[in-house]
Amino acid sequence: MSTIRNICVYCGSSTGTDPAFLAAARRLGRLLAEHRIGLVYGGGSNGLMGAVADAVVDHGGMVIGVIPEFLRTKENMFRRATELIVTRDMHERKRIMFDHADAFVALPGGIGTLEELVEQLTWAQLGRHRKPILLADIGGFWQPLIGVLERMREAGFIHNGALMSYRICARVEDILPTLEAAVASMSEQETAGDTATVEKL
């Protein structure tokens, strides 16, 4: 993977109490559209989910919404999506979102956002993917989780820390450059590995 075509964004189906969360979602959506990067997300039109999707569409970008059948009404399915995929359940939803994404960004959100983020961290630690994962730490929202992860590492429960790497950005404007740098670094490592293999042979 040498370029980012689509970014999966995890975020709340509510707007939260801090206006900065909503502003960040809208700003990220606009930046995705301006950089011609598609949005992959949970397919709802409420809260931060709807805000980021609206911003992408409003600025001419592409949105892939993935929503399970039972949430079509509850999360007010986003009908402005470029592509809308309705799944049978949450497991299929997450798999399809993963398959369509080249990187993952977690904006502020609730239990669902946390669960999706931690699953990607887990898969990365197990070596199942190398797609960049980024915490959009708006207003320090993710600091408690970052502290827990560091505590786990210190206590010896995270053994593959190099694989379970994640980036942190406090400013929305830094998200895309950080992800692009991560992808470039991974591509260089893969190229170096291929060269080493050839030399060894």
What pLDDT does 161 receive?
A: 62
pLDDT at 201 over 70: no
pLDDT class of 115 with cuts at 50, 70, 90: very high
Taking residues 35-53, what's their average pLDDT? Answer: 97
- Contacts of 161-165 spanning 24+ positions with Cβ under 8 A: 163/124, 163/125, 163/126, 163/127, 164/121, 164/122, 164/124, 164/125, 165/124, 165/133
Q: What is the pLDDT of residues 96-110, one digit of tens each?
A: 999 999 999 999 999
DSSP 169: E
